[in-house]
Structure 1
Amino acid sequence: MRWIGLSLLAGVMLLVGSSCTMLGLNYASLDTANKPAATPPIDVAALVSDPGERARLKGLLQDTLYGAWPEGLPVSFGDWRVIVPDYLEGRGTLEELDITIGAGPGARTFQLVAAFPSGAVQVPVVIAQTFGSNCATFPEQPVTSMDGDACTVRDFGKFASMVISAVFGEYIAEAPIDLYFDAGLAYASFHASDFVPDDEDEAGPAIEALGGNPNPGSTLMAWAYAYSAVITALEADDRVDNQRMAILGHSRHGKAALLAAAWDRRVDAVIAHQTGFGGAALSRSPSGERLDRMVKSYPHWLAPSAAPYAADPATLPFDQHHLLALIAPRPLFLGNARRDVWADPNSSYRAAYAASAVWRAHGETGLKDDMTHFDPAADIAFFLRPGGHSIVDDDIEAFVAFLKAHLQKTAQLPSQVTAP
């Protein structure tokens, strides 16, 4: 457990030696009027009325940046284990489920941990991918650790936890289950790296061994498919309303959440927080991290085919507003921070603005107002707070407001299922 904390601490130290932009010492521009519009344009009429246009866009995403969506890769799961029957002083139960993705000896199993409110019947659920292990997300609870034993360490260690929380926010690891319960939500999460490691050397072999045809084309696609696998598991539980299932991801896991929602129409609402490049930020934007830097630093996130496009994003046959448009008309939350220039909130807003026409064509309102006004009830809820790349109290408050505003609404959407 402590090696995770040390690894994150090392990452923090790396940030200290990096540019002011990456550290969050600059401010994201609020000027969108004098910035380039998102290009190429979306064929709104075709995307709304022609399934072939949707398939074409998904094919472009797979062929360029992300690689294959692993259609039909086997998903199996066992029975729930109640590990804390009186969780949060009796407000609910804390339970654990083994989920296996893949076939044969290369199949990989991870633990989904869920908190169900007492007496839950057909309640909405938010599904999150986490940076820290399940031990860190549920401190002092007997969830299964990465080595297969019950957790014995509360978090990352006292010193590492202080540094990590100071830089990345109180909720980069721990989940505020009490607040989700207050909103009438069940909560489920898993450590994405328990499925496919977030490591350049380990991710490729893990994906190659899964036994699918095809396997995920990148780590981001693998993590996206893991969201879909969790939805399949939760669909089998009567405590969860299948028409009110939201997914949540921060940073790299927000990128995966966007991909999951684009491919799996069972996702009813999406919280994609500070996703940056490869997420909601425009690939053609010259600000922030940029695709070329991402490919050098995290080559396993994207497909091998991404490298030439990252070197010259102008050659891409799409941009990220097309990815966002594939999520319409479902509610989409895009979280940002003013000092998180590395994730480029300005171009993320411009991507959302361009995609908003698809929501309107479906009869929804789409994006409202400007970068600085957060409306949790908007179909594209754009959130910009002070601070940097982190998950803090203001974010959780915004997440919950968005979920409360939309989950009843999404229950009325027609069922469009693409199951793994």
Structure 2
Amino acid sequence: MSVLKAILWFLVRLPLLLMILFLSLVMSSCTMLGLNYASLEVDNKAAPSPAIDVPVLVNSSEARADLMEQFEDILYGPWPEGMPVKWGEARIVSEDILDGKGVLKEIPVTVGQGEGASTFMLVLALPKGDGPFPVVINETFSSNCSVFPEYPVTSPDGGVCDGSQMDGVVGSLVTKMFGEYIAYAPLDRFMDAGIAYASFYGSDFVPDSREQGPAVMAALGGPIQPTSTLMAWAYGFTAAIDALQAETPIDPDGIAVMGHSRFGKSALIAGVWDRRIDAVIAHQSGFAGASLSRSKTGEGLARMAKTYPHWLSQDIQPWLGHLDELPVDQHELLALLAPTPVLLGNGRRDVWSDPNSSFRAALAASAMYEAAGQEGLPAGGMQQAFEPSAGIAWWLRPGGHSIVSEDIDSFIAFLQTHLQAPSRKVTAVQARENHVDSVR
């Protein structure tokens, strides 16, 4: 009888036990959600190394090219210069979205050549009106079915989407953990701001898999193949820009790229290698993004490179045991991005992504922005009020590794400032007021 009771006890609690197991796996492999607060102290930390020679980097295109080559040789692999990009005719998904605020289209984009070419579907929401409109291109974690669940966009299998990956218990858990907008696109907010919104599912282009990712990259064809998924996903932004420049309502001088976490890393890379990009939003990009490789806090570059070896070039592996000797670090990547405006988003509880070293990297790169004629990082430390007009803007809010409503407000305020969007629903003043005191 006692054995039967034990079995019944286990069966009744099985859903709860499975949920705990799921949460443990996610938290151990993805992020340290809510386990600690990021330190706000920076004066007691070592200055980022190597030091940036600002005058040389500003005035010498050769020095800039050499530094980019070091990042390619050590961390990201080659930029796939000349990789063929083709796109098909835009299909109207809906002529009237959000009660007349915009129109929804999708464009098939193909990268590479021959049988190994990879195609993804770029979905574009355009505000109603003549334009031209600035556009933000977002690379997403979920399929277009989850990003645009109300609309009959094309699913990854080529059919029409029917439902979202965010439906059901698992989807609800993911949304609660990683925020309302981890997949879902707040189209109404962008349409009200006069900003076109485009997005594509990164894994539709190159899978986020240590086995499939390298195989897809090697088969793409073209003169140079990417050897890391971060570099490939960065080139995905370039391919999207190529396709969007054929859309006449898009302002060619108002193109922004945006990514969260691993795609935040790729957004930074794209901004350095594709100078058509006019603004970058890298939200919680962490290591190999805006956080310093030498930092001992959070996930760490070595652990990331071992857990996700396909994200980086295999040439990083010999360096993982002595990262202090790396010839480059991420403050130099931010310096290479100048004068392109960049917003670095952070969460106080997102210790895994290491906001503290992200701030120190931004602080070190700020002089480069000032030398290039942009507004540098505002004074006041990590608790500073958010300033969307800064060339290198730094945003810290409460909470963990997620995309929430306050983030969207800050993103839009930053984009409106730097891309000169035709209307302003969220002003810079409102964005600063949204900066919550509990980050202290």
For the aligned pair, the TM-score class normalised by the smaller chain equals over 0.9
Amino acid at match of 1:14: L
Shift of 1:9: 10
Amino acid at match of 1:29: S
Amino acid at match of 1:371: M
Aligned to 1:178: 188
Relative contact order: is structure 1 or structure 2 higher (C-alpha 8 Å, sep ≥ 6)? Answer: 1
Rounded to whole Å, the distance in 1 between the matches of 2:391 and 2:21 is 38
Kindly report which structure 2 residues correspond to 1:204-215, keeping only aligned pairs within 5 A, or say none.
204-215=214-225
Aligned to 2:232: 222
Amino acid at match of 1:277: F
Question: 2:406 is paired with a residue of what secondary structure?
Answer: helix
TM-score by length of 1: 0.93
Kindly report which structure 2 residues correspond to 1:14-413, keeping only aligned pairs within 5 A, or say none.
14-16=25-27, 22-369=32-379, 370-373=381-384, 374-408=386-420
1:182-232 CA distance string (max 9 Å, x none): 111000000000000001110010000000221012000000000011111
Shift of 1:327: 0.9
CA separation of 1:384 and 1:11: change in aligned 2, threshold 3 A:
farther
CA separation of 1:162 and 1:74: change in aligned 2, threshold 3 A:
same
Higher CA-based Rg: 2
- Runs of at least 5 residues in structure 1 that lack an aligned partner in the other structure: 1-7, 410-420
* RMSD (Å), alpha carbons: 1.6
Rounded to whole Å, the distance in 1 between the matches of 2:366 and 2:27 is 37
CA contact (8 A) 2:271 2:337 kept: yes
CA separation of 1:9 and 1:112: change in aligned 2, threshold 3 A:
farther
1:114-151 CA distance string (max 9 Å, x none): 10111242110010000010000001210011111000
CA contact (8 A) 1:321 1:352 kept: yes
CA contact (8 A) 2:214 2:227 kept: no
Rounded to whole Å, the distance in 2 between the matches of 1:322 and 1:265 is 16
- Runs of at least 5 residues in structure 2 that lack an aligned partner in the other structure: 1-18, 422-440
Rounded to whole Å, the distance in 2 between the matches of 1:9 and 1:240 is 46
CA contact (8 A) 2:345 2:396 kept: yes
| Alignment: residue pair count | 401
CA separation of 1:11 and 1:332: change in aligned 2, threshold 3 A:
farther
Rounded to whole Å, the distance in 1 between the matches of 2:20 and 2:253 is 39
Shift of 1:321: 0.6
Misfit runs of 4+, over 6 Å: 8-11
Shift of 1:344: 0.3
1:89-127 CA distance string (max 9 Å, x none): 221111000000001110000000010111242110010
Rounded to whole Å, the distance in 1 between the matches of 2:358 and 2:325 is 19
Shift of 1:17: 5.4
CA contact (8 A) 1:9 1:163 kept: no
CA separation of 1:231 and 1:159: change in aligned 2, threshold 3 A:
same
Shift of 1:311: 2.3
Amino acid at match of 2:59: S
Rounded to whole Å, the distance in 2 between the matches of 1:382 and 1:143 is 34
Aligned to 2:434: none
CA contact (8 A) 2:52 2:332 kept: yes
Rounded to whole Å, the distance in 1 between the matches of 2:182 and 2:52 is 35
Moved more, 368-377 or 46-55: 368-377
Question: 2:314 is paired with a residue of what secondary structure?
Answer: coil
CA contact (8 A) 1:15 1:22 kept: no
User: Structure 1 vs Structure 2: percent identity of aligned residues?
Assistant: 54
